[in-house]
């Protein structure tokens, strides 16, 4: 091989190794809250295998789209994004396996199904951290180069909001506190919480004039921005919250009013996460 080509290959391999190292660090950092949550250990074994498989199957296209936005290395085709998503989930799986073993959450004598269930579930948020590692842990100019030429569309903005909503909701959805809070709320309080969530989400990004506002924020009427971003973002938070609660079995056997209140409670952190994602990513 020509020395110049060999040097290029070495630089490419070194760049990939650095990206993989950041991905592992991101997986651990973003996954730690759930890796140390007992409810997640139980869910990995007790939740329905069908629901776990559905979660992972629906989550993978989400990872592919996230790779297009902020993967841990530049991508130029759908094939690259699919490979990045596979690597990210593998990194999340390995990181989760190692951390759970270090914490004693994987005990000798546990069956293969229990171990795979625990680690597969934990790998979902960890893989998000692996892909976000470039934008959060890498060099700023590298992150800018990766997204260079990729203009943010309306649906791209909504996707970024969904990333933040999913990640923050995932951190609290398995806990018993969500249902406990919902049981304490009456119908009027749940409605008030929904209204406060809408107001807080809008003020968090748009009213406070932080970065991440829509490009036409200064020209468009406030009601247009509120309808297109805040209301739609809150609707995404509600849908993601309902799906996660159903996946984790938190809605099973609940009366409809209690189930709706539970979704509204989880949508509070999900909506805040959606708003914050537009400031961070």
Query: Same domain for 217 and 255?
Result: yes
Q: Which residues, other chains included, contact 128 with Cβ-Cβ below 8 Å and sequence gap of 6+?
A: 30, 63, 66, 92, 163, 166, 167
Average pLDDT over residues 218-228: 71
* Cβ–Cβ < 8 Å for 278, 248: no
Q: Which of 130-139, 144-153, 263-272 has the highest mean pLDDT?
A: 263-272
Range ranked top by mean pLDDT from 2-11, 183-192, 225-234? 183-192
Same domain, 208 and 131: no
Q: Are residues 229 and 142 in the same domain?
A: no
260/271 Cα distance (integer angstroms): 16
- 8 A C-beta contact, residue 119 and residue 3: no
Structural domain boundaries enclosing 75 = 1-150
First to last CA, the chain: 40
pLDDT at position 147: 47
Tell me: do 146 and 161 sit in the same domain. Answer: no
Statement to judge: residues 145 and 202 lie in one domain:
no
Whether 278 and 157 have beta carbons less than 8 Å apart is answered as yes
The last residue of one of the domains, among 117, 150, 183, is 150
Domain identity same for 85 and 220: no
DSSP reduced 3-state for 199: helix
| pTM of this structure | 0.81
pLDDT on residue 149: 42
Q: Which of 104, 130, 150 is the last residue of a domain?
A: 150
Confidence band of 218 (pLDDT split at 50, 70, 90): low
Of the listed ranges 98-102, 204-208, 230-234, the least confidently predicted one is 204-208
Query: 123 and 166 share a domain?
Result: no
Model confidence at 114: pLDDT above 80: yes
Indicate the number of domains in the chain: 2
Please check whether residues 141 and 215 belong to one and the same domain.
Answer: no
User: For 72, which DSSP code?
Assistant: S
Of 118, 150, 182, which residue sits at a domain end?
Answer: 150
The answer to whether 178 touches 266, Cβ cutoff 8 Å, is yes
Query: In the numeric block, which tokens belong to residue 59?
Result: 């989550």
């Amino acid at each position: 091989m020509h020395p110049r080509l060999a040097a290029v290959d070495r630089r490419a391999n070194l760049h990939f190794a650095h990206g993989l190292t950041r991905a592992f660090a991101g997986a651990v950092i973003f996954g730690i809250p759930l890796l140390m949550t007992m409810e997640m250990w139980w869910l990995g074994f007790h939740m329905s295998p069908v629901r776990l498989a559905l979660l992972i199957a629906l989550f993978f296209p989400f990872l592919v789209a996230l790779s297009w936005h902020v993967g841990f290395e530049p991508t130029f085709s759908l094939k690259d994004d699919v490979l990045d998503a596979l690597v990210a989930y593998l990194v999340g799986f390995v990181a989760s396996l190692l951390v759970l073993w270090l914490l004693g959450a994987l005990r000798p004598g546990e069956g293969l199904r229990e171990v795979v269930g625990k680690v597969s579930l934990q790998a979902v948020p960890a893989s998000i951290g692996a892909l976000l590692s470039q934008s959060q842990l890498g060099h700023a100019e590298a992150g800018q180069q990766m997204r260079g030429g990729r203009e943010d569309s309306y649906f791209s903005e909504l996707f970024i909001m969904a990333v933040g909503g999913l990640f923050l909701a995932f951190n609290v959805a398995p806990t018993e506190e969500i249902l406990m809070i919902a049981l304490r709320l009456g119908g009027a309080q749940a409605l008030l919480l929904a209204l406060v969530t809408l107001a807080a989400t809008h003020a968090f990004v748009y009213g406070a004039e932080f970065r991440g506002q829509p490009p036409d924020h200064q020209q468009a009427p406030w009601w247009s921005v509120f309808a297109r971003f805040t209301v739609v973002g809150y609707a995404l938070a509600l849908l993601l919250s309902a799906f996660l609660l159903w996946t984790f079995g938190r809605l099973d056997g609940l009366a409809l009013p209690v189930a709706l209140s539970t979704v509204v409670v989880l949508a509070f952190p999900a909506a805040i996460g959606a708003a914050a994602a537009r400031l961070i990513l």
